[in-house]
Structure 1
Amino acid sequence: MADLLAVCRVYRLLPDAGTVGVTAIDKRPVGGPVKVTPYGLYADVQADRRDHGGLDQAVYAYAQEDAEVWGAELGYDVVPGLFGENLRTRGVDVNGAVIGERWRIGSALLEVTQPRTPCQTFARHLKSPPRWVRRFTEANRTGAYLRVVEKGSLSAGDAVDVVERPAHGVTVAGWFGAWSGLDGAPHPVEPARLLLAAHDAGQVRLSKDMHSRARGAVQA
């Protein structure tokens, strides 16, 4: 059964060498039901609101299975929240989720919007493992951002039920691999066309970022 291992939100703002000067990547598990609003978990924040947060990146999910792979490589436990995620899942193929797929968790309904793009803030938070941004990219275990379709509340232990999956078939990992030019991935024009067709037909609502990238791939 797919479920939530932990629900995480910001613990404290930390100083950061990036242009914003602070980061809210320090997420840690919280107990009890947590309200979910269109802009994410109640009492969670983003420091860099140009590149993070908003309606299309309201919640970030990362799979325990992927965290364990990284834990073996990094040599320490990747505890819930360490990667800045709000939801640590178990039994959910987060990277294999189809763009536009919907999850019912507790009383909230969430929709997969796009993969995470790693940044140097992420690397600095982990004490800068060698080539971290590139390694995370090449592994194509990005986790997924979600928008809130129906607000509600959720808590650790809740089931994660996939209640809708679009027919276009482009997954989080499929798109990220194509867009990033990873070995073995298709040219991005093919998944881009599928995504745009589904968007235009009203079968899925692409985030602004996904729509822009898909358009760019088709027009290149």
Structure 2
Amino acid sequence: MTAQVLSTNLARPRPDPGGQDRVSGIDKRPVPRIEVFEPGPDYGDGPGVVGDVVGDSRHHGGAQKAVYAFAREELDYWQAQLGRELGNGSFGENLTTTGIDLGTVLINQRVRAGTALLEVSVPRRPCRTFGGWLEERGWMKTFTNRYQPGAYFRVIEPGVIAPGDRLELLAAPDHNIDMATAFRAKMGDKTAARRVVAAGCLPGRYHEELVRIAG
């Protein structure tokens, strides 16, 4: 199956479902296309998608979390587990993909999507907003135990991405750290953290966080 974009999604701002006094951008809805760009380097610099919304500017947005992707195949898995429909964008993703296992993409691998060039960046950490949005007790632990977090991307070259665009994985980086391993490390797996630290593939604060986890 060809790896491609199934749906492009933008936020419909709403009160934070996790109970915080702020708006949230987790409610993403399909749109005909999205335009992506490189935001500033830090969380507070907003999303890398024109017209999108970041509510929690302490933990989202910025260059390392410019664009978020999640696989339709995983939405289908959770749809069956939870017994309810999950439309494209339901997990807060800008790109709903198909034909690609986002857990196996390598950190820092570049991906051509539409007229944009993206680069796999850092793993997601499930948060209270995510749990409140799905209204599932123990959701953060349940989601973590699946070890399929989707993938955040940096924007290397700005451009436009639309449903049906092919996802072309370019040359692999010189390490074997995939997104699932980076996620395990971030969520406290010391063995995974040591592997990721040794590879030196994550930027700044993300690397230092895993140094502490690795002990």
Same fold flag (TM > 0.5): yes
Alignment equivalent of 1:186, drawn from 187, 191, 196 = 191
Which amino acid in structure 2 is aligned with residue 207 of structure 1? Answer: P
Alignment of structure 1 residues 159-174 onto 2, 5 Å: 159-174=166-181
Aligned to 1:4: 5
Cα distance, 1:114 vs. partner? 1.2
Alignment of structure 1 residues 13-162 onto 2, 5 Å: 13-31=14-32, 33-39=33-39, 40-127=48-135, 129-162=136-169
TM-score by length of 1: 0.87
- Seen in structure 2, the aligned counterparts of structure 1 residues 9 and 208 have a Cα distance that, compared at 3 Å, is farther
Cα distance, 1:25 vs. partner? 0.7
- Seen in structure 2, the aligned counterparts of structure 1 residues 47 and 71 have a Cα distance that, compared at 3 Å, is same
Runs of at least 4 residues off by over 4 Å: none
Q: Match of 2:55, SS?
A: coil
Residue segments in structure 2 that go unaligned for 5+ positions in a row: 40-47
TM-score by length of 2: 0.89
Q: Match of 1:139, SS?
A: coil
Q: Match of 2:120, SS?
A: strand
Q: What number of residue pairs does the alignment pair up? A: 206
Residue segments in structure 1 that go unaligned for 5+ positions in a row: 200-205
1:105–1:161: 8 Å Cα contact kept in structure 2? yes
1:102–1:164: 8 Å Cα contact kept in structure 2? yes
RMSD over equivalenced CA pairs, Å: 1.7
Q: Deviations over 1:35-63 (max 9, x none)?
A: 11113111012011110111110000001
Cα distance, 1:208 vs. partner? 3.5
Q: Match of 1:188, SS?
A: helix
Q: Deviations over 1:138-176 (max 9, x none)?
A: 111111110100001110110000013212110110121
Cα distance, 1:209 vs. partner? 3.7
Cα distance, 1:98 vs. partner? 0.6
Which amino acid in structure 2 is aligned with residue 133 of structure 1? Answer: M
Aligned to 1:202: none
Cα distance, 1:217 vs. partner? 4.0
What CA distance in whole angstroms lies between the structure 1 residues aligned with 2:160 and 2:21?
A: 31
What CA distance in whole angstroms lies between the structure 2 residues aligned with 1:118 and 1:48?
A: 13
